[in-house]
Structure 1
Amino acid sequence: MKLKSLFRLAVSVSALAAASGALAQQAPAPDAAAPAASTEDSGEIIVTATRAPVAIDQVPASVTVLDKAAIDRSQDIGVTELLLRTPGITMSRNGGYGTSTSLRIRGAESDQTVVVIDGVKLNDPASTGGGYNFANLLTGDASRIEILRGPQSTLWGSQAIGGVVNIVTAMPEAPIEGSFDLEAGSRATVSARAAIGGRTGPLSWRLGGQSFTTDGISAIAPTFGGHETDGYTNRSATGRAELELATNLSVELRGYYSSGRVNIDSTSGDNPDFSTNKEFVGYAGVNFALLDGRFRNRVAYAHTDTDRDSFSPLRARALSFESNGQNRRWEYQGSFAFTQRISAVFGLENERSKFESRSPAGALATPLPPFATGDAEITSVYGQLSIEPVDGLTVNGGVRHDDHSRYGGQTLFSTGAVWRLPTDTILRASYGEGFKAPTLYQLFSEYGNVALDPEQARGWEAGVEQQLFDRKLSFGATYFERVTTNQIIFNSCSATSPSPLCLVPGSTTRRSGYYSNVSRGEAHGIEAAAALKLGGLTLDGNYSWTVAEDRSPGTANFGKWLPRRPQDSGNASVSYAFPFGLSTGAAVRWAGHSFDNASNATRLDGYALVDLRAEFAVSERFRLFARAENVFDEEYMTAYRYGTLGRSFYAGVRGRF
C-alpha cells in the first residue's frame, strides 16, 4: 500500500467522521504530550501514552502513571531508576551512571520498547538493535512518565513489542513560574536542574535544563580488576512553546538535547577509553479543531539525530568508533467523537531513517575505512475505535498497516476491553500484535545480514484491580503471555567456522560474527501490586514473575532463560508524612538470579537493595531532602564483570515558585 493510497484511506476515515450524527462530546487532543494530570476532586488519572488523553480506568492494557509528585518523592536522578520501581521492568547496565543501559519490559528485548519524549518517538537507527539507550535519560523537567505494557504496535508501530515509555515535560499554568533542584553526594556527584516558563495571552512556553556530573565507579567490577573511577557528565535541555493563533488553531515547537561523556573500560581491565553521546529531538506541529471540537487534528514534523563516538587515547588514532543515526517523520493524527460513547483515534505517518558507522584502526598508517551506510522508509496508517456499549464497559479495537521500503506491507491488529464495576472492581483484557523490521545496523554494518526477516510478536493479558475504603486500599494482578518469532540475535564466528555468513559479504575476509533470526522466544508471567494509604502512612509494593525463554526448536538453547532477565523481581516501600512537614521513607528493590548469556553458563546472583529517604518542607515553596541508597552496600551485578553502585548518600534542596 503506497503513500497515496494510505492518504486516501485517512481522508476517507475523516470524511466518514465528519458525516456522522450529532450528540457527541468533544474529542480528546490527538497527542501523546497533551496536558494531563490527576483531577484532585475526582482522583481521576489521565493517560496519554494511548496517543490521546484517556482516563486510566478506560485503558485495557496495563499502565503505570508517575506524576510530578511521585517523581519528586522518589528523588531518583535517572528515569531508569524510576522505572525499576514499577512492575515488570528489569535493567542491566555496563557499570555506573552513563554506561550502556538496557531496560526490558516483561522480558522483551531492550530495543523492543518505544520511548517517547513530548510526542516524539525516539530510537537510534545506528545502534545495534535500533532502540534507545536509557543511559543518558535523566528525569530533567519531566512532569509525567507513563509505562504502557504489552505489544502496542497498532498505535506506535515498529519496536513497540514490549511496551511504551511516554515522557511528558511540564507546561506552565501561571503567567510566570519556575522550579529548581540542586543536590550533591557520594563520588563527587552533583546534579542541578532548573526550569522557567509562563502563560501570557495566547503564548505558553517553558525552558528547562539539567547538569549532572559524577566521578563514578570502575565500569569493570573490582572482583575482575577494575579499580580506577570512570566518571560521567551530562548536560541536557528541554523546551516547549505553544501559540494560539485562533480559537481552534495553534502551533507548537518542542525540543530536547542531551550531551554525555562517560569513561568506559572497553577491555578486560582499567583503561582511559571514553565515549560521547549527543541526542537532538525537534518537533513542529499545527493543531486545529473542527465541528465544535468533535474533530481534532494534528499535523507535525519530528526530527531525531543521535551521534555516538568512542575514543581510545592510548592508540595513535584515538577515534575507535563513530556513528550517526537520523529519523525524519511526518505525521497526521486525528481524533473524532462520534457520540458520547463512541470515539476514534487515527493517523498517517511517514518515517525515513538512515545511519552511518565505522570503526577506524588504531594505526595512523591505516586509512580510515568507509562508513557502513543504509536507509529505510516506512509509511503507516492506523486507527483505533473505542466504544462504551454500557455504563462502565469500554471496548476498543485497532488496526495498523505498515508499508516498509524493504519488507513490503504488514498489517497488525489489537483489541481489548476494560469493565469498571460498581464495586470499584476493574477487569482488563487485551490482545496485541507487534512487528519489528531488522535495523539498519543489523542489515548493513560490518556484521550485517541482508537476508534477515522481520521480528513478529503477539501477546495478550488479563487482569483485575480492586479498590476499597474510598480508594485508600488497592490491589490487583495481571497475567500475560507473548510469543516472538524470527527474533534477531548476534552469532559469533570461530576462526574455523565453515559458515559463509562468517565472511564479509562479497569477499573472503573473515568476520567475528553476524546477525541472524532465531525461531522463537516466549514470555509469560504475573504482575501483582498493592497500595495502602492511612493518614500520613503509605505502604505499596509490587511483584513480577516473568519467564522469558528461548523456544527455538532443535537448538542447544531450547528452554534456556533469555539473558539478563530474572524470573522474580519486586519492590516495596513505606513512607510517613508528619504533620509538621517532615516525610520519611524506606524502599526495597529485589531481583532473583539470572544468566548473563544465552547458554545459561554464567549465573548472575540475585540481590536486594535498601534505600532510605527523607524530605522536609521548609515552606510551601522550598524543601530539603536527603537519601541513602544501597544502605547495606550490597555487591551485585546486572551484567557479568561490570560494577554497580555501592552505598551512596545524597542531599539537596528543591524549590517551586
Structure 2
Amino acid sequence: MRGASVQRPSAVVIVAVCGISRQISFHEGPCPALREFRMQTLRISLLLTTALVTALPAGAEDTTALDEITVSANLEATGTDRTGATVTVVTADALAQAGDTRVADYLSRLPGISVNSSGPIGTTASLYLRGAPAQYIPVLVDGIEVGDPASPQGAYDFGTLSTSDVSRIEVLEGSSSALYGSQAVAGVINITTKRATKPGTEQSVAAEYGQYATRKFSYSVATKTENAEAALTYSHISTHGFSARDENDGNYEADGYRANRLSFFGQYTFANGLTLGANGFAEKSWGEFDDYEGDVAGTPGNDFTTRDSKGARVFADFVTGTVDNTLEATWFDSDRQSCSNGWCDPFDGTRTKLGYQGATDLGATARLAFGADTTKEKSAGASTRTNGVFGELNWAAAEKLDLTFSLRHDTHSDFGSFTSGRIAAVYRLQDDLLLRASLGNGFRAPSLYELYSVYGDPDLKREDSQSADIGIEKRWGETASLRATAFYLDAKNLIGWDYAATACGQAWGCYAQVDGHSRRSGLELAGHYRVSPRLDLAAAYTYTDNSVSTGWAAVAHHDLTVTATGEITEALSGDMSVHYVADRPDGMEDYAVVNASLSYDFGEGRTAYLRVENLFDKEYQTNKGYGTSDRAFYVGLRASF
C-alpha cells in the first residue's frame, strides 16, 4: 500500500442521509426511523462522551496504544483508528487464554453476538449478529467463503469449527454488501489460520483430554524469511459427547463427534515485487445429532451427519505504475450427508470465485480501490452466478477525520441487479477518544435450496436491508478502554418457511417471501480495566430490541459477559468468565454460566492447564429443547519451539 494512510473505498460521494439512502438503493427506507435513531444515538453519544472524559481511572498512563490493523473493515488493510466501521479483533493469545474448544463459544463472549447450540460440538450452532441470523453473516477462512451452498439458507454452521487452527478473528458489524456482496446484511466474520509470527521457523503442539472422553490434538509448523512464508496445521478432535436433546427431558444417548482437519498457507515474493501465494484446507468429520423426537429406545446412533469440506485459494499481488493489484481465485466444496432413521439425504455444493482488485493514491489524502468479481454456486444440479463491480474511496478529509465511501453493483442470474453502498466516518476528538458512524444497505440473494429444492420457489426475490450505527471509544493507555455503539438494522422481503405456501407443490408448505419488515436496534458496550499489574477485567454487554421481528427469530434482550484474568504467581495464572443472558424469547429461562481455567507456565514455551466448563453445574439451554454441558473438566499441554 502506497502513500496515503487511508482505507479502501468506492467512488461515489453523496450527502444527506435520507438522500443517500435512496441514491444507493435504499428505496423507500424508513428515513423518519433513521432520523429518530440518529437523534437518540446522538444523545447517548454525548452523554457517554461526557462520562468517559471525566472517568479517567486514577493513575492511568498517558501513553497511547499502537493502532491495530483490520483487514475486514475496508477493501484494503486499515488501522482500526482510521475506520468508522465497528470491528472487533480477536488474537491468538486471547483464544488460548480462554481455552474454548469451539470458535462459537468464544464468539458468544463478544458484544453483538449470541449463539444457539443444538447440543455438543458437531451439532448445529447458529450464530446471531446484532439479532440477525447466520444466513446474513458471510464467514471467510483465509479469504475463502465457507457458507454451505447446499444448506437451506446458505448459512455457515459454527457447530464444528474448533479453535485449534485459528490465530485471528475479525468481526465486522453492520451491513457490508458494498464490500462483500450477498448475505453481508448483519456483518462479516473473517478468520485467519495459524501463521509465522516472526522470521525463522516455529512449531507448536497442543493436546487435551477431558470430560465425555474428549481428545484434542494439534500440530503447527510455520516458517518465515525475507521473501517467503509457509504454514501447515493438522488438528484432530474426538468426543463421546452428551445427548443433543436435553437429558432433563428423558433423553439419554450421548451424541459423539470426530474430525480431522489440515490447513496450509504459502507465499513467495520475487525480486520484481510480484507475490504469488496459495492457501487451503480439508476437513472430514462425523457427528451424531438428535431429531425432533429425541432419543428412542432401540435406535442408538441412527441420526448422524458426515461432512467432507475443502477449499483453496490462489492469489497474486503486483504493482503496475501507481496501481497496486491483486488477482485471486477461490474454490469451496462441501459434501454433506444427513442420515436419520436409516435414510440419508445428500447435500453437495460448490462455490467458485474469480476476482480482481486495484488501488491507487489520489493525491496525498485519498486512496481509491476498485475491482470486479464473479461467483458461481452449484448444488443438486442447479446453479446461479453473480457478477459484481465495486469501488471504495478513502479520504483523510482533515487531520482528525477519515471518511470512507463504498459502492458495489451486483448482477444475479436469477433476480437481476442490486446496488449497495456504505458510508463510514471516524473523528478523533483526541488520539484516544474516537467517534464512529456508518450507514449502509445490503441484500441477500435466495439460496439454491430456497429456489430449486422440492420446497423452493424459483420466483423468490432478494432480501433488502439497511443499517446504521454510531459509537464512541475511549482509551486510557494500556490501563483501560471503553466502547459504546448504538445500532439499527431493518430488513424486508425476508424469505422464510410458510406452511400455507403452495408454489413448491408440497402439502405442508414451502419457502416464501415474508410480508413486512424485521428490525433490530440496540446498544453494545465493551470495556477493559487493568485493576493491577496482576489483574485484568473485561466486559461485553448487548441490549437488543426485538419489538419488530417479522420473519426473524428473537434473541435475548440482555447479554452480558464479564471476564477476570490474573496472575496468581509468576508461573500460575487464572481466567474466569461469567456469561449472563436475560429476558429471553419463547419463555426460556434466564441463565448465568461460569467457566474457569488455571495455567502453569514451565518456561521455554511449555504450559499445562486445567479448564472447567460450567463450573457451578448450571442446567440451562441456549436452544429450546437442546442440552448443554454439565460441569466438565479438561487438562491439557501446549508447547512451542
TM-score (norm 2): 0.87
Matched, 1:537 2:514: no
The one-character-per-residue Cα deviations of 1:455-495 (angstroms, maximum 9, x if unpaired) are 00001000111122x241111211010110001111125xx
**How far is the alpha carbon of 1:513 from its aligned partner?**
3.8
The one-character-per-residue Cα deviations of 1:490-546 (angstroms, maximum 9, x if unpaired) are 1125xxxxx543724xxxxx3444333332100000001211113121011011001
The one-character-per-residue Cα deviations of 1:70-119 (angstroms, maximum 9, x if unpaired) are 11111111110111110010111111111011101000121100101111
Contact 2:229 2:268 in 1 (8 A): yes
1:425-444 paired onto structure 2 within 5 Å: 425-444=433-452
Name the CA distance, whole Å, in 2 between partners of 1:136 and 1:176: 29
**How far is the alpha carbon of 1:246 from its aligned partner?**
2.9
1:8-47 paired onto structure 2 within 5 Å: 24-25=3-4, 42-47=65-70
Name the CA distance, whole Å, in 2 between partners of 1:476 and 1:640: 32
One of 469, 480, 484 as aligned partner of 1:477? 484
Contact 2:546 2:554 in 1 (8 A): no
Matched, 1:247 2:267: no
Matched, 1:492 2:499: yes
* Residue of structure 2 equivalent to 1:67: 91
One of 205, 223, 237 as aligned partner of 1:198? 223
1:302 partner letter = T
* Residue of structure 1 equivalent to 2:312: 282
**How far is the alpha carbon of 1:152 from its aligned partner?**
0.8
Contact 1:453 1:517 in 2 (8 A): no
In structure 2, stretches of 5+ residues that fail to align are: 10-62
Name the CA distance, whole Å, in 2 between partners of 1:502 and 1:29: 43
1:520 partner letter = H
Matched, 1:388 2:396: yes
One of 176, 180, 183 as aligned partner of 1:156? 180
Contact 1:529 1:542 in 2 (8 A): yes
Contact 1:26 1:337 in 2 (8 A): no
1:430-469 paired onto structure 2 within 5 Å: 430-468=438-476
1:566-577 paired onto structure 2 within 5 Å: 566-577=556-567
Name the CA distance, whole Å, in 2 between partners of 1:648 and 1:58: 43
* Residue of structure 2 equivalent to 1:565: 555
**How far is the alpha carbon of 1:328 from its aligned partner?**
0.7
**How far is the alpha carbon of 1:311 from its aligned partner?**
2.1
Q: How much is the aligned-residue C-alpha RMSD, in angstroms?
A: 2.1
2:487 partner letter = F
One of 604, 608, 618 as aligned partner of 1:634? 618
**1:255 is paired with a residue of what secondary structure?**
strand
The one-character-per-residue Cα deviations of 1:186-234 (angstroms, maximum 9, x if unpaired) are 1111111110121356432110011011110101112322101010111
Matched, 1:268 2:293: yes
Name the CA distance, whole Å, in 2 between partners of 1:27 and 1:529: 26
* Residue of structure 1 equivalent to 2:514: 517
**How far is the alpha carbon of 1:578 from its aligned partner?**
4.2
* Residue of structure 1 equivalent to 2:413: 405
**How far is the alpha carbon of 1:255 from its aligned partner?**
0.4
Name the CA distance, whole Å, in 2 between partners of 1:630 and 1:138: 19
* Residue of structure 1 equivalent to 2:42: none
2:176 partner letter = Q
- Residues 502 and 48 from structure 1, CA distance in 2 versus in 1: closer, same or farther, beyond 3 angstroms? closer
In structure 1, stretches of 5+ residues that fail to align are: 1-16, 18-22, 31-39, 357-372, 494-498, 505-509, 596-601
TM-score (norm 1): 0.85
**How far is the alpha carbon of 1:436 from its aligned partner?**
0.6
**How far is the alpha carbon of 1:27 from its aligned partner?**
8.5
Matched, 1:82 2:106: yes
Contact 1:144 1:167 in 2 (8 A): yes
Name the CA distance, whole Å, in 2 between partners of 1:579 and 1:29: 45
**How far is the alpha carbon of 1:174 from its aligned partner?**
2.8
* Residue of structure 1 equivalent to 2:31: none
**1:97 is paired with a residue of what secondary structure?**
coil
**How far is the alpha carbon of 1:28 from its aligned partner?**
7.8
1:436 partner letter = R
* Residue of structure 1 equivalent to 2:46: none
**2:96 is paired with a residue of what secondary structure?**
helix
Name the CA distance, whole Å, in 2 between partners of 1:185 and 1:500: 50
One of 125, 149, 152 as aligned partner of 1:101? 125
**2:240 is paired with a residue of what secondary structure?**
strand
- Residues 26 and 410 from structure 1, CA distance in 2 versus in 1: closer, same or farther, beyond 3 angstroms? same
Name the CA distance, whole Å, in 2 between partners of 1:229 and 1:608: 24
- Residues 513 and 403 from structure 1, CA distance in 2 versus in 1: closer, same or farther, beyond 3 angstroms? closer
Matched, 1:296 2:324: yes
**How far is the alpha carbon of 1:352 from its aligned partner?**
0.6
**2:85 is paired with a residue of what secondary structure?**
coil
Aligned pairs, number: 580
